[in-house]
């Protein structure tokens, strides 16, 4: 699938479609796309005349069709309709796709689907744009440029650490970029270092989630609990966020159990499996410490804990402590 950067380039070149099929897991690039379209068609990204935002779980397909067929206002020859959560039309998917094949000429439609739904239904073709991901090189350039647009420089090793430490969500990435950019540099040159990235995320090198995972898989019980205590008590790292990081590490370790996987180059590791930088090195260096059955069992325990954190009133710190002990003893 093409990416948001392809969408942006095509729009700047004047190549505008009536219908855009979007696969996305968050809202950041959807919002950016809407701004670009309003600026291109209406002259300003802030002009919301003839701009309609609809949700498939709140509007019927017929309402969307009727809105498309209605005339544009006297102030514009075009209208933009953004339909989010299109996977909610799954029972009428054929009707939706047939409608989108022949839109009204004065209507531009962004049909936004959940990315997992697109992959599951095998909808991803050349006409789909993936707004939830960027290739490794483009990701690096994009993050660096976002810092630079805020008047901030970021060192190469800090940039790698930043990207590999944050779950792939552009909403979250932008939030963390803003947080780092607002750091008080106390009059010095605004340069982001590895230590500053670690501090912003909420831990230092000696008490990082990576050190926690290493202590768990090497069965260093005392050290693991010490790091956990530092992360969730001293640094107040959100337990659900920490659990998400831990699950990523375990998935990385499981992935390296695939026969011949270590032969992949760095481009393939990122492009297909989202393994990059220090995370990829960690999984490659340590996956042999555990067998596949142990890793799968541990990952199941992480998922169980995640469910309990989100659906019960049990003490989150006790749940995390119990999980770490179970993982060490697995």
Burial 260-270 (b: 16+ CB within 10 A, else e): ebeebeeeebb
More confident residue, 200 or 96: 96
Per-residue model confidence (pLDDT) at position 207: 85
Per-residue model confidence (pLDDT) at position 25: 86
Q: What is the pLDDT of residues 239-258, one digit of tens each?
A: 888 888 888 889 888 888 87
> Would you call 13 exposed, middle or buried from its count of C-beta atoms within 10 A (0-12, 13-18, 19+)?
exposed
CATH number for 160: 1.10.8.60
Domain with 160 in it: 136-199
Give 262's pLDDT tier (boundaries 50, 70, 90): low
Per-residue model confidence (pLDDT) at position 216: 95
Q: Which of 111, 130, 149 is the last residue of a domain?
A: 130
More confident residue, 213 or 284: 213
Q: Which of 112, 130, 148 is the last residue of a domain?
A: 130
More confident residue, 172 or 27: 27
Q: What is the pLDDT of residues 80-129, one digit of tens each?
A: 999 999 999 999 999 999 999 887 888 999 999 998 899 888 887 778 99
Query: Is there a single domain that holds both residue 52 and residue 92?
Result: yes
Query: Is there a single domain that holds both residue 94 and residue 19?
Result: yes
Mean pLDDT of all residues in the chain?
86
What average pLDDT does this structure show over 255-272? 66
Query: Is there a single domain that holds both residue 239 and residue 314?
Result: yes
SS3 86: helix
Per-residue model confidence (pLDDT) at position 122: 86
Query: Is there a single domain that holds both residue 225 and residue 320?
Result: yes
Query: Is there a single domain that holds both residue 151 and residue 125?
Result: no
Per-residue model confidence (pLDDT) at position 279: 74
What average pLDDT does this structure show over 141-156? 93
Q: What is the pLDDT of residues 208-232, one digit of tens each?
A: 888 999 999 999 999 999 999 988 8
Query: Is there a single domain that holds both residue 209 and residue 172?
Result: no
Per-residue model confidence (pLDDT) at position 203: 67
What average pLDDT does this structure show over 126-149? 90
* C-alpha span between 89 and 98 (Å, rounded): 13
> Would you call 251 exposed, middle or buried from its count of C-beta atoms within 10 A (0-12, 13-18, 19+)?
middle
What domain count does the chain have? Answer: 3
Query: Is there a single domain that holds both residue 179 and residue 254?
Result: no
Per-residue model confidence (pLDDT) at position 131: 93
The answer to whether residue 271 scores a pLDDT higher than 60 is no
What average pLDDT does this structure show over 141-146? 94
Query: Is there a single domain that holds both residue 63 and residue 164?
Result: no
Query: Is there a single domain that holds both residue 59 and residue 164?
Result: no
Query: Is there a single domain that holds both residue 319 and residue 258?
Result: yes
CATH number for 31: 3.40.50.300
> Are β-strands 191-192 and 51-55 bridged in parallel, bridged antiparallel, or unpaired?
unpaired
Per-residue model confidence (pLDDT) at position 261: 67
More confident residue, 17 or 188: 17
Q: Are the C-beta atoms of 130 and 1 separated by less than 8 Å?
A: yes
For 291, what's the count of Cα atoms within 13 Å in the CB-facing half-sphere?
3
> Would you call 130 exposed, middle or buried from its count of C-beta atoms within 10 A (0-12, 13-18, 19+)?
buried
Query: Is there a single domain that holds both residue 13 and residue 27?
Result: yes
CATH number for 311: 1.20.272.10
């Amino acid at each position: 699938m093409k990416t948001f950067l392809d969408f942006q380039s095509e729009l700047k070149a004047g190549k505008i479609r009536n219908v855009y099929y979007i696969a996305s897991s968050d809202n950041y690039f959807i919002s950016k796309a809407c701004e670009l379209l309003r600026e291109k068609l209406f002259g300003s990204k802030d002009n919301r005349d003839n701009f309609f935002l609809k949700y498939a779980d709140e509007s019927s397909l017929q309402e969307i069709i009727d809105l498309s067929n209605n005339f544009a206002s006297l102030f514009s020859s075009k209208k933009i309709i953004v339909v989010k959560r299109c996977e909610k039309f799954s029972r009428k998917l054929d009707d939706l796709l047939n409608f989108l094949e022949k839109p009204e000429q004065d209507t531009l439609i962004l049909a936004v689907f959940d990315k997992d739904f697109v992959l599951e239904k095998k909808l991803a073709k050349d006409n789909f744009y993936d707004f939830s991901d960027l290739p490794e090189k483009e990701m690096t350039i994009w993050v660096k440029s976002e810092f630079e647009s805020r008047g901030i420089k970021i060192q190469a090793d800090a940039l790698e650490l930043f990207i590999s430490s944050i779950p792939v969500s552009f909403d979250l990435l932008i939030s963390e970029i803003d947080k780092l950019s607002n750091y008080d540099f106390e009059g010095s040159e605004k340069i982001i270092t590895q230590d500053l990235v670690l501090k912003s995320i909420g831990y230092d090198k000696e008490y990082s989630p990576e050190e926690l995972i290493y202590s768990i898989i090497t069965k260093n019980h005392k050290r693991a609990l010490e790091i956990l205590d530092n992360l969730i008590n001293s640094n107040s790292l959100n337990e659900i966020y920490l659990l998400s990081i831990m699950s990523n590490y375990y998935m990385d370790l499981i992935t390296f159990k695939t026969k011949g996987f270590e032969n992949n180059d760095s481009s393939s590791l990122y492009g297909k499996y989202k393994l990059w930088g220090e995370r990829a090195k960690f999984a490659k260096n340590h996956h042999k410490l555990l067998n596949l059955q142990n890793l799968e069992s541990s990952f199941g325990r992480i998922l169980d804990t995640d469910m309990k954190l989100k659906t019960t009133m049990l003490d989150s710190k006790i749940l995390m402590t119990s999980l770490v002990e179970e993982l060490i003893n697995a």
